[in-house]
Structure 1
Amino acid sequence: MASDIEAGGPVERLVRGWPGNPRRDALSLRIAGYLHYAVLGGKAPELAAVYPGANPDWTMEAVWPIARDWLTRRERAAKVFMKSPPQTNETRRAIALVPGFLKVASLFPGPMHMLELGASAGLNQNWDRFNYRTSRWELTGNSDVTIDTDWIGPPPDHIDMSFNVASRAACDQAPINLSKASAARRLKSYVWPDQPERLARLDAAIALARRTRVRVDTADAADWLKAKLASRPEEGPTVIYHSVFLQYPPAETRRALQAMIEEAGAEASWDRPLAWVCFEPGAFFQGPDQVGIDPNDFVTYLRVWPEGEDYRLVRSDGHVVRAERL
C-alpha cells in the first residue's frame, strides 16, 4: 500500500485529503478491513481465491495485484467503508482480566455486578463462560469459546474460586449490533485473515453473545457509569472493567472516570464493595511497583474498596499472545 501511494494508485486516491491523522485513524487497517470484508461477504471471489482462507500457501505477490484491482473498481464503496473507525473485540484479553476477577471473588464472595466500559460488541461480557487454557493452569466455562495464551510464571491466585455473576451491563459510544450479519462480518474483517484460530474464536464468541442475548448500551462512558454507580445494588461487589479502552477517550473523560470511581469507592462498604479491573497500557497506572514494566507493556490493574488497595497482576502485549504474572 505504501508503494501504491507513491505510485499514485488506488490507495493514494483513498487516503488523499484525509481530514484526520492517518496513523492515529488507522487508515491502513480500514483499507485492509474493507478488502477482508469483501472476501468474507462472498462478493470478491477472485480475491477470496488468493486469500489465506482458501489458499494456505498464499503470497503477497499473488494477493496484492488482485487487491489493487479490486480497490480500483470499488473505490466509492471502499471510501464509504473507511468512514467508520475500526472496532475490534479481542476476547483473548479476557484471560488478562481473569486474575483480577479471581481476586475480587476471593475478597467479596457475594453476587458480582459487572459494568463494562467501551464494550464494542459486548463479547467479553461472557468472560465467566469462556474456557481458559494455558500450560500452567486451566479454568472451564460452559461455552465453545476457548482462550489460550503463553503464560509465564505461577498460576493466578485463588484459581479455585467460583464466580457468581448476578448482573451484566455494558456501554459503548458506537456498539456493534451482532444481530445484523453485516455488523458481525465487519467486526470479523479487522482480524488478520491468516489467523484462523483467532477467527474461529471470534465466531464462537459471536455465537455465544447471540445465544446469551448480550446487550451494549449506546452511551458516553462517563455519563453511563455515573448513572450505574448511583443505582448499584446493595449487596455484593460492583465490578467496573475494561480492556484497551482508556487510550480512546479524551484526557478530560479519563480524569472524570477516575474521579467518579474513586468517589464511589470512598462510599463503598464490605456489604457493598467496589472493584475496578482493567487491562490497559502500563503508562496509565504508574506507581512504585512499575519497575520492570516496559512502556509498550499492557498491565492488568486492580483496585478494590473499601480497603482501597491496588494491584498490578499481569503484563502482556496488547493481544495477550503472551502473559506474565507480576
Structure 2
Amino acid sequence: MSKDLPDVVKALTLQASVCRNMGSPLNGDLLDRAAADWLAGGPVKALMAPWEHADLQGQFDAAAPLRLIGSWHELALSGDDPAVARAYKALDADAIWAAVSIAMVARYDRLAAFMAHEPQTNEVRRSICLLGGFLEVARMTGLPLRCFEIAASAGLNASWDRYRYTVGDAVWGDPAASVRMDTAWNGPPPAVEAPVKVIERAACDRRPTDLTDPAQSRRLMAYIWADQADRLARLRAAIEVTLANGLTVERADAADWVRAKVRPHTGAATVLYHSVFWQYMPPESQSALAALIAEIGATATADAPFAWLRMEPPGLAPRMDIRLTLWPGGEERLLGHCHPHGASVEWLGGPSP
C-alpha cells in the first residue's frame, strides 16, 4: 500500500483485508472497490466526507469503513431498494456494487443518516469470549453474580447465562438453549464447574437499540456481514431470547449510570463489563471512567467483591484482549485473546505480565 494514499483510503483497504481474514470475502471485495471509487471521486467520497481528514487510528476508532458497508446492508435488508436487496440475497459482489453505486447517489441522505450513528454491533458471540471471565469471578468468589453491562446496545450479551456454549472439550449452559455457540478454543478450559447464579442484571447504552422496533433490529443485523449466515441466525435467536425475558437497556451515559447504579453488594459478586466499547470514547472519558471504576473497587470487601471484565482491542491489533480486575486487591489479569466476533479464543487465565 502506498504511503501517499489518504488515510481514509488506507482504512478502506485495510478493512477489506481484515474482512477477508475474518471470513467475509464479499465485504473485502466491496471495500476494495470503495477505496478505488474514493480515489476516482465517486459517490463513496461524499459518504466518507465526515472522516476524510481523520488519521488512520481515527478511521478505525470511528469504524468508518464498517459504517459504509453497514449502510448498504441495511438498505438491502429493508427491501426499500429492490436492486440492492436482490444483489445482497444472491451475495453477488458485481451486482451489489452496481446497485449500491446507484443507491449512494439516489439514496444519499438515507445512507449518510445511517453512517452518522456509531456502530452498535452487539455481536452475540462475544459472550463466549466473556464467559470465561464470568466463570472465573464465580470460581474465585464462590458468590452469586450481579451483572452490569455498559454500552450494551440491545442488551443481547446481558443474557449470556441463558445461552449454550462449547469451549474446546467442555460445555456450559442450558442444554435446551435456543442460542448455541462454539469457537476455536485454544488453551485450558475455563472454570465450567464453578456454580453460577445471576441474581441481578442491568444494562445501559447512550443510544440503546429498541428491539421492538423493526428498523432498530435491522440496524443490528446490518452490521453482521452478509456472507456470514450463521452469525445472522444467531443474532435473530438472541433477539428472541432478549425480548422473551423483557430486558430493558436504560438510556444513559456510561459514567453517569455506573456512578448512580453500580456498587458492591454484600453476599454477591458485582461485575461491571463491556465489549468493544472503550475505543469509541475520547481519552479523557476513558480516564474518568477508569478512575470511577477504581473508586468503586476501593470500596469492595471479601464478602462484597467487585469485578471489572472487558473485551477490548489493544490499539490497532486485529484481536481483542480479555481482561479482568477483581477487588479487593485490584489485581488485573489478562485472561486471554480473542477474535473480534468470537470465532476463536486463546485462553490464558493467568496474571498479566
Structure 1 partner of 2:323: 301
**Aligned: 1:149 with 2:183:** yes
The C-alpha deviation readout for 1:266-294, integer Å capped at 9, x for no partner, is 221122111111112246xxxxxxxxxx9
Q: Distance between the aligned counterparts of 2:318 and 2:96, measured in 1? A: 32
TM-score, scaled to structure 1: 0.88
Match of 1:48 in 2: 85
**2:66 maps to 1:29:** yes
The Cα offsets for residues 226-251 of structure 1, whole Å up to 9 and x where unpaired, read as: 11235x53321111111122112222
Give the SS at the match of 2:59: coil
Shift of 1:62: 2.6
Whichever residue aligns with residue 323 of structure 1, its letter is V
Matched to 2:299, the amino acid is E
> Is the Cα–Cα contact under 8 Å of residues 136 and 154 in structure 1 kept in the other structure?
no
Q: Is the alpha carbon distance of 1:296 and 1:18 closer, same or farther for their aligned partners in structure 2, counting shifts above 3 Å?
A: closer
Please state if 1:325 is matched with 2:347: yes
CA gap of 1:31–1:265, structure 2 versus 1, over 3 A, is closer
Q: CA deviation at 1:195?
A: 0.5
Task: Give 1:321 deviation, angstroms.
Answer: 1.6
**Cα offset, 1:16, TM superposition:** 4.0
Q: Within the alignment, does 1:163 sit opposite 2:199 as a pair?
A: no
> What is the DSSP-based 3-state SS (H/G/I as helix, E as strand, rest coil) of the residue aligned with 2:210?
coil
Please state how far the C-alpha of 1:256 moved relative to its aligned partner: 2.1
Higher-helix-fraction structure = 2
Query: What residue is the counterpart of 1:181 in the other structure?
Result: 214
Q: Say if 1:84 and 1:130 are closer, same or farther in 2 by CA, change over 3 A.
A: same
Partner of 2:12: none
Structure 2 partner of 1:81: 114
Q: Tell me the residue number matched to 2:173.
A: 140
Tell which has more relative contact order, 1 or 2 (C-alpha 8 A, sep 6+). Answer: 1
TM-score (norm 2): 0.81
Query: What residue ranges of structure 1 are gaps of 5+ in the alignment?
Result: 284-293
Q: Give me the whole-angstrom Cα distance separating, in 2, the residues matched to 1:317 and 1:39.
A: 27
Contact 2:142-2:195 at 8 Å conserved across structures: no
Distance in 1 of aligned mates of 2:50 and 2:216: 27
SS of residue paired to 1:32: helix
**Distance in 2, Cα, partners of 1:4 & 1:164:** 52
Identity across aligned pairs (percent)? 40
Shift of 1:168: 0.6
**Aligned pair in 2 of structure 1 residues 278, 65: CA closer, same or farther (>3 Å)?**
same
How far 1:309 sits from its partner (Å)?
A: 3.1
- Work out the CA distance in 1 between the residues paired with 2:233 and 2:287: 37
Query: CA distance change for structure 1 residues 49 and 320 in 2, over 3 Å: closer, same or farther?
Result: same
Deviates further, 111-120 or 2-11? 2-11
